[in-house]
Structure formats: C-alpha cells, structure tokens
Structure 1
C-alpha cells in the first residue's frame, strides 16, 4: 500500500504520540504541523509552499487550486529549498532546513512515504483523504480529559478564526453555534464547544478512520499493530520494541506542554495506560458534570444532511 498518511485530531488528542509510533516503522518521513500558523513548526515554505491564514485552516474542493499543488509537493517529499532560505534565516531555521531537506531527499530516494502529523488539519480531514489519497487517522479524546488538558495548560480557542472562513461555515453550519462564545472568558465552555463541533464534523466525514485515543492508550501494542495494517506499514520486532519502550516504560517528566526537537513536536515517552488515571486531574466534580452536559448536547446542524457512510469510532 502506498500513499501518504495524515494523523489529525484536536490539539492534546495524542496526534504527536500516534505519529511518532507510526514513524517507528522506519518507512515514513515525519512532517510536523505544516498547517500550524505559528513559526515554528509552521510557516516553513520548504515544507509547505502555501500561506496559512487561520488556525484550523479549512481546505475543500473550492479552494483546492491554492492548496493542492502545495500539498502534492509536501507528500511527494519535494522540499522547497530556495523558498525556505528566502523566508527563514535564523540558526534554528537553518538547522531545521538541513533536517527536513535531508529527510525529504533521503525519503524520496528510499521510497518512504510522508506522514503528516497535524491537528490543524482536523476540519479538512475529508479533503486529505479524497484529494491527496491520504490514509487518515482522526483521534478523539474523551471530552473531559481533553478539556482538563486545555485547562491545565491555560489554553483557549478564538472562534473568530473559524467563523471568518466562509467555506467552513457553508459546509459545516454547526460552526455558527460558536458565535455566542466569541470573546468569552469561559475557557471550559469554549474547549467543550470546540470538542462538540469537531466531533459532529468528524462523525460524518467519509474516508477517515476515527480512533479513540483513550482506547489506544489503554492497550497500545495490539491497537498500533492494527493501525500499522490500516496504513500498510510493516509490523516488525524493531517497531514493536520502540513502541513498547515509548508507551509502557517510565514517563518522561516535564511540566505542561513542551516543544521538543527540530520538528517541534509535543511527543514525549509515557506510560500510556497509567496516564489515563490522571487525565482529568485539576477538574472539580461540578466541572466534570458541566463538561459532560456541554459535550453531550446536540450541536445545531441548520438542516445539514449527514454524509454516508459514517466512519466507525474504534480503539484500534
């Protein structure tokens, strides 16, 4: 099986961890968050020769003329050396250029495939599957654990970045339900609303595989073996050993969210099963009940018709 792979899902849903476990196959070139509007890891034209204007940039057939050539180069591992040199000049940028430029060239020569790890592609997952032929893994985390993680990090979301994208609002009108939270200081309600709307969109997106992060973390070896089969990757003793060490050994202790490596990934080794026990820490029982209420309330669809077939949420 050939073709690129996209691992996506909302930030703090395990995309970096999952992407690194797939990259343990040795058959992929790992590309981290080309659609992230923050530099780094985004705004690197050597990796993606297209300007990202919004978090959760929405890509569909109606704007493919702009995005498709750029992503075709990325998944074909064609690095834009001159474009990168013109845009980014710091010592870190030059080191990143050498890292990615070399990885793209060696990957192309050795027949490796591109793996895009990008939570900011989550609302465009169907386009990546249909137009780029990606095997798409869309991770969903338990909503309480997801909101708890954002609360611990002090993160919030600015819904105007979604509402200012007319094609996104047209194709997914439930985004309009977020208008009342624009400017709100209620971070818990905003994170819960983001989870709810994203869940509704992914649930009717064809051509993707929805995967429960919590089920994956609870029993990683058989679950990753199944994902390897889905992606057409070879499950080898070396890959199994790497995944075992990264998922079942002692966790690396860090505070909060930390970028690591030239790829600027959030990946860190962890005891994935043990981490589930503390995934809701910091929330009160009242807050947990509120999150359940906010995320279980049906999202208004404004007459939108679900696509068929619906993807299946699985733990593998």
Structure 2
C-alpha cells in the first residue's frame, strides 16, 4: 500500500532464500539471516545492490511458471524502472530480515516500519498456506543465538530435532519474532510500530498517519487505491504494479476465529504467553 505512492519503489524480500537478484542467486543460507557488523562483509554488496541499484529485478523461480507470470514480472519491473528514474525511494518489504533490522537501518539510513500481527492470525495464515519452518536455521546462526535467542535455546533445539505440528511451529516462530520486536520497541523510539489489525480496521486514517510519519504525500489517488484494495469485494483482483491482491480488510482481522479450532487457539495463546501480552489484551482473543 505504501508503494501506491510514486515516491516509493518496491523491493521484494531480498533475504528470501528463493529469490534471485539481477539473475544472481541469493547468498543467504538460512531463513531469518542475522546480519551485523561481525559478518556484514559477506552480505553488504548483495544487499546494497538490492536496495540502492538503479536497475533492480527480483525473480522467484517458484512462481514464474506461465506466460502470465512473466507478464506480471515484466510489468512490475518496468514500473520499478520508471520510479527509479524519477528518484523514488526504495521500500524494502521483508519479514525475513527482521533480525537484521538494526544493521539495515544503520547501514542504509533506513526508516523502519514494523508491522505486528495477532499470533492466532499469524498461525492461521501459516496453516492455510501449509508453511512450516525449519528451526535448525536458528541454531545454525551462533551469533543470533548468542545475542537474542539464547533464552529459547532448549525449545528451538527441541523443534529442530523433530518436526512439530504446524500450529505449534507457528506459535514458537511468532514468539521468537515478537520477542525481538519488543526489544526493538525499547531501544528504537524513532521506529514506527503498527498493528496489522489497526491498519485493517481503519485503513484510510491509519495509512494517513503512516504516510505522514514517513514524510510521503497522501494524495486523493492514494486514498482511493487504499480504499479500493481494502473494502469488501467478491472479485479479488491482483495488481502486479502494487504486488498484492484486494482484501476485505475488516474480515481479515478475525478470520482466524473461524479458521482455527478452539483447542488450536488455546494452544497458541498458551505458548506465546507473556510476549503476546505486550501487544494484545485479553479482549483481542
């Protein structure tokens, strides 16, 4: 939605293991790679190309299978070039870069927006997509375990040793991510933290605030785009230039309540524990 503005150009998930940048295979070996000054030499040039290069093209070999996929990619690429030529700021959308956010912000002088989502909604999205996570990718990063995830070392080791139910995986993954987010909130008062539910409940007002915080003009055209892509609509249409599909934003807020069983919701709530209480109240469950 931010890249509905001509002032921003979209850079899609450079930390994703399946993406290729300028036909150069990704250099990342692990999901949620933790970049910091101690290991930045390996990653800097690749990420500088992704973020600052004049010509940027991200390819996902898993999704480019048809002529329509190629057409969508070309449209997105040409729109990206057009924006680059006009001096647009790059907007890097990458949840997988979460643990590297400090380094990215310091290295590339980034404004940081962190979107927080309800743990049950997060788990439901993973369940629907059947996305599992290999927790050995955390253990394979000793710097990440040393700096942030050591309080959860035993549980991460357990989940890495034997595959757990997707609901349990989602709960632990949410907990690890948002434990770090809670630390960011303490140490980075200049960063922007916004709940997905608040954006979805009142898109125009909440995005107006976000655009103002980022010093981006909030035109009538942008407002119309946000309204169009968040109102109830039976015809779900994709926009290759913006990189997303239309959603009934209000319905998304509580769709997990019908998509998960009561026992699944209770398991998630029990596992995320005190970390969730930093972001959500009893009423949010």
Give the structure-1-normalised TM-score. Answer: 0.74
- Matched residue SS, 2:21: coil
Distance 2:22 2:128 in 1: 33
Match of 2:123 in 1: 147
When residues 199 and 220 of structure 1 are mapped into structure 2, their CA distance, relative to the original with a 3 A threshold, is same
Q: Is the 8 A contact 2:14 2:94 kept in 1?
A: yes
Question: Shift of residue 262 of structure 1?
Answer: 6.5
The partner residue of 1:271 within 235, 248, 256 is 248
1:291 aligns with 2:268: yes
Match of 2:202 in 1: 219
Q: Is the 8 A contact 1:77 1:107 kept in 2?
A: no
- Any idea what the Cα deviations from partners look like across 1:150-186, whole Å, max 9, x if unmatched? 1222221110111111221121123523111122232
Distance 2:218 2:239 in 1: 26
Listed as ranges, the gaps of 5+ residues in structure 1 are: 1-20, 255-259, 300-311
Distance 1:123 1:91 in 2: 34
Match of 1:204 in 2: 183
Match of 2:38 in 1: 62
When residues 79 and 63 of structure 1 are mapped into structure 2, their CA distance, relative to the original with a 3 A threshold, is farther
1:187 aligns with 2:170: no
Match of 1:168 in 2: 144
When residues 262 and 204 of structure 1 are mapped into structure 2, their CA distance, relative to the original with a 3 A threshold, is same
1:237 aligns with 2:220: yes
Distance 1:151 1:275 in 2: 15
Listed as ranges, the gaps of 5+ residues in structure 2 are: 281-285
Match of 2:156 in 1: 178
Question: Shift of residue 63 of structure 1?
Answer: 1.6
After alignment, is 147-156 or 189-198 more displaced?
A: 147-156
The partner residue of 1:132 within 102, 108, 111 is 108
- Matched residue SS, 1:138: strand
- Matched residue SS, 1:280: helix
The partner residue of 2:3 within 1, 8, 23 is 23
Distance 2:56 2:115 in 1: 30
When residues 252 and 295 of structure 1 are mapped into structure 2, their CA distance, relative to the original with a 3 A threshold, is farther
The structure with the greater share of residues assigned to helix is: 2
Question: Shift of residue 238 of structure 1?
Answer: 0.6
Question: Shift of residue 285 of structure 1?
Answer: 1.5
Match of 2:82 in 1: 106
Question: Shift of residue 106 of structure 1?
Answer: 3.0
Distance 1:132 1:159 in 2: 29
Question: Shift of residue 241 of structure 1?
Answer: 0.6
When residues 90 and 242 of structure 1 are mapped into structure 2, their CA distance, relative to the original with a 3 A threshold, is closer
Give the structure-2-normalised TM-score. Answer: 0.81
Give the superposed CA RMSD.
3.2
Q: Is the 8 A contact 1:209 1:313 kept in 2?
A: no
